[in-house]
Structure 1
Amino acid sequence: MIPQRVTLVTLGALDLPSLRSFYKRLGWEDTPTSTDEYCVFTTAGVLLSLFPYHELVKDAGLDEQVVSDTKPSFRGITLAVNVEEPELVDDAIEKAREAGALILREPEEAFWGGRTAYFADPEYNVWEIAWNPSAVFDETGAMISF
């Protein structure tokens, strides 16, 4: 059996020092062992790591010939930060804008009853900032249900 949990999300970084700097501009603190060669941010419930793109390709056993790194593009996956109040969506998008994010979708009411917005980091990893009125968070800030 594979445990039903996500513990680490790793982004393959084309320019790790620059991407690390972006997340630090968001106000995120990296761990004391982080460097410009491998970086980890502690978040509520999941660690976010940055690892050199080509090293990640090799580590995963992928064929470098079929993996493109020439231009950042949407990879068919989004990451999300859910917040406790609707106005925090707007605050978070402003912080992302100030840090140099590309705002993909300005904050607006969502068809499902919440509030949502999207941004891309400098390497086009896509993040949603969302408020869900039925979200439940634990004492660490991790969303445990909605």
Structure 2
Amino acid sequence: MVPERVTLVTLGTFSMPKLRAFYRGIGWEETPTSNDQYSVFTTAGVLLSLYPYEELLKDAGLQLTGIQPVEPAFRGITLAINVEEPEQVDDIMEQVRKAGAKILREPHEASWGGRTAYFADPENHVWEVAWNPSALFDESGAMISF
């Protein structure tokens, strides 16, 4: 049986210093093992790592298939930061704006009854910031249900 959990999300980066600075700039804490070649940030429930794009291709065995680095663009995946209060959506969007994020969609009331907004980090990894009135969080802040 495959364990039902996500423990680590790795973003392939074209500029490690730029992306590390962004995530530090929004107040996220790096682990002591982080360096200029591999960076890991602690979050509730999952670790977020940054790894050079070309090295990630090689590590995944994709270099041999002819996949080549391209300009950062939407990759068909979003990451989410779910919060406990609707006001936090607006507060977080202001923080990421100041850190250099591109705001894709300003905070608004969602059709499903919550509050949501979207931003892209400096390499166009897309994040949603959302408040869902039915979300449940554990003691560490990880969302366990909605």
| Structure 1 and Structure 2 fold alike (TM over 0.5) | yes
TM tier, smaller: over 0.9
Q: In percent, how many aligned pairs have the same letter?
A: 71
Q: Write out per-residue CA displacement over residues 22-47 of structure 1, whole angstroms, 9 at most, x where no aligned residue.
A: 00000111011111110000100000
Check the 8 A contact 1:120/1:127 in 2, yes or no.
yes
Q: Secondary structure at the match of 2:3?
A: coil
C-alpha RMSD of the superposition: 1.1
Q: How many pairs does the alignment contain? A: 146
User: C-alpha distance in 1, partners of 2:64/2:105?
Assistant: 32
Code of the residue aligned with 2:124 in structure 1: it is Y
Q: What is the Cα deviation at residue 104 of structure 1?
A: 0.2
Q: Secondary structure at the match of 2:139?
A: coil
TM-score, normalization by structure 2: 0.97
What residue is the counterpart of 2:35 in the other structure?
35
Q: What is the Cα deviation at residue 124 of structure 1?
A: 0.3
What residue is the counterpart of 2:135 in the other structure?
135
1:12 aligns with 2:3: no
Check the 8 A contact 1:81/1:128 in 2, yes or no.
yes
User: C-alpha distance in 1, partners of 2:31/2:8?
Assistant: 14
Moved over 4 A (4+): none
1:111 aligns with 2:111: yes
What residue is the counterpart of 1:96 in the other structure?
96
1:22 aligns with 2:22: yes
Q: What is the Cα deviation at residue 70 of structure 1?
A: 2.9
What residue is the counterpart of 1:47 in the other structure?
47
Q: What is the Cα deviation at residue 71 of structure 1?
A: 1.2
Q: Secondary structure at the match of 1:94?
A: helix
Moved more, 107-116 or 55-64: 55-64
The runs of 5 or more residues in structure 1 that have no matched partner are none
Q: 1:68 to 1:97 in 2, by over 3 A?
A: farther
TM-score, normalization by structure 1: 0.97
Code of the residue aligned with 2:134 in structure 1: it is S
User: C-alpha distance in 2, partners of 1:68/1:77?
Assistant: 19
Moved more, 46-55 or 69-78: 69-78
The runs of 5 or more residues in structure 2 that have no matched partner are none
Q: What is the Cα deviation at residue 66 of structure 1?
A: 4.1
User: C-alpha distance in 1, partners of 2:64/2:115?
Assistant: 39
Q: Write out per-residue CA displacement over residues 93-140 of structure 1, whole angstroms, 9 at most, x where no aligned residue.
A: 000100000000000000000000000000000000000000000000
